[in-house]
A and B are shown apart, each in its own frame.
Chain A
Amino acid sequence: MNTLLSAFAEGLLSPILVPAHALTLCGLGLFIGQQTNRALAVSSFAAGLAGGLTAIALAVGPTPSRIVLLADAALIGGLVASAWAPPKPVGWLLAVIAGTALALDSPPQAATIAQGNATLLGTALGACALLLVVSAGATLATRRWQQLAVRIVGSWIAASAILVLAVMLAR
C-alpha cells in the first residue's frame, strides 16, 4: 500500500518537478486564462492526457513526445505573449497536443503494473490540478498590469522552450 501511495505521489508531483512539463502547463494555463471558452480547452487537454496515458499503459514505444511538447509550449507561449485569440479549434488542438505529449513523456519507472498505474493516475491529477490553478490565476488577472505580466511570462515561456528545442536538436 505504501509503495502504491509513493508511486501515486511521484506521479502527482512530476508535472511540477519536470521542468518541461511545468513550463508547458504554465503556458497552457495562461493561454486558457486569456480565452473565453475555457471549459472546452481544459476538457481537450484532459482528453489528450487520458489518450496519452492510455497509450503509455498499453506500453507504446518511444515517441518524440518531449520535442512535440516543447514545440507546443513555444507556440502557446508566443500566443500568450501576443495576447491573440486564435480560432477556438486551434486552441483546443494545442491543448490536446499538450495533454497527449505530456502523458507520452511521463512513462512511469515502476516495478509493478499496479505501481505504474498509480503513477499514471497521479500524473493525470497533478497535471490537471496545475493547469487549473494557473488558468484560474490568469483568469483573475483582469487589471491592465496583470494582463501585461501574463504576456511577459508568456514570452519567457516561449523563449525558454525555443532555446531547449535548439539544445535538443544540437545534441
Chain B
Amino acid sequence: MLRSLFYGVLLLPVTVTPALAHEGSGTGGFLGGFAHPLLGLDHIVAMVAVGLWGAFLGPPAIWILPIVFPLVMAGGGVLGILGLGLPGVEIGIAVSAIALGLMVAFAARPPILVAALLVGAFAVFHGHAHGAELPPGSDAVAYSAGFVMATGLLHLTGISFGLLARWPAGRAAVRLAGIIIALVGVVFLSRVV
C-alpha cells in the first residue's frame, strides 16, 4: 500500500507540464491569485516542504519559516513585477523542492539563521515566478492577497502533517514525505535543465 502510494506520487509530476504554476492563470482577482500557487506541483511540494521542515525543527522555526517565506517571496515578486531578470528561476524552484525535501528526509537541524536564509533564498525564486506572471489588468491587491494566502495555507498544511513527527511512526512518515518531495524536485529539474 505504502509502496503503491510512493510510486503514485513519484509518477504524478510526469502527468503535468513542468512549472505549471508559472504559466499564468490568465484570471485576476482573489480566486485567480489563490488558485495560482495551487496549479503547480513544483510550487506545492516546495511550500509543503517549508512547513514540514519547520514542524520538524520545532519552535522557533515552526513559525519563523512561514513568516520569513512570504516576506522574502514578496521581494522576489517585486523583481518579477518590475521586469528585473533572475537567472534560472525554474531551476531554482526545482532545486528548492530537492533541497527542502532532503532537509526533511535527513532530519537536518541547522541553526535557525541558516534555515531561514536557505528558505528565504528559495522564496526569491518562487516570488519572482509569481510576480512575473501577475495577469495584466487584474485587481492586484486581491490577486496578491490570494496567492500569498494560498502559499501560507500550503505551509500550514506542511506544518500540520509535520506535527506527526512527535510520534515514531509519524516521524518516519514525515521523512518519507521529504524523500518524495526531493524526488518530485528531481523530476522537475530534469525537465527544466
Contact = CB atoms under 8 A, between A and B. Distances in A.
A168 B140 contact: yes
Which bucket holds chain A's interface residue count?
Answer: 20 to 34
A167 B144 CA distance: 10
B30 to A, nearest CB: 7
A169 B83 CA distance: 11
B149 interface: yes
Contact of A163 (B30, B131, B149): B131
A156 B142 contact: no
- Among A81, A155, A165, A170, max chain B CB count under 10 A is at A155
Given A19-B30, A78-B71, A156-B152, A164 B63 contact: no
Interface of A: 19-20, 23, 70, 78, 81, 148, 151-152, 154-156, 158-160, 162-170
Interface of B: 30, 63, 66-68, 70-71, 73-75, 77-78, 81-83, 131, 134, 139-142, 144-145, 148-149, 152
Which label, helix, strand, loop or mixed, suits the secondary structure of the A interface?
helix
Contacts of B66: 152, 155
A54 B75 CA distance: 36
Contacts of B70: 155-156, 158-159
B73 A166 contact: no
A159 B82 contact: no
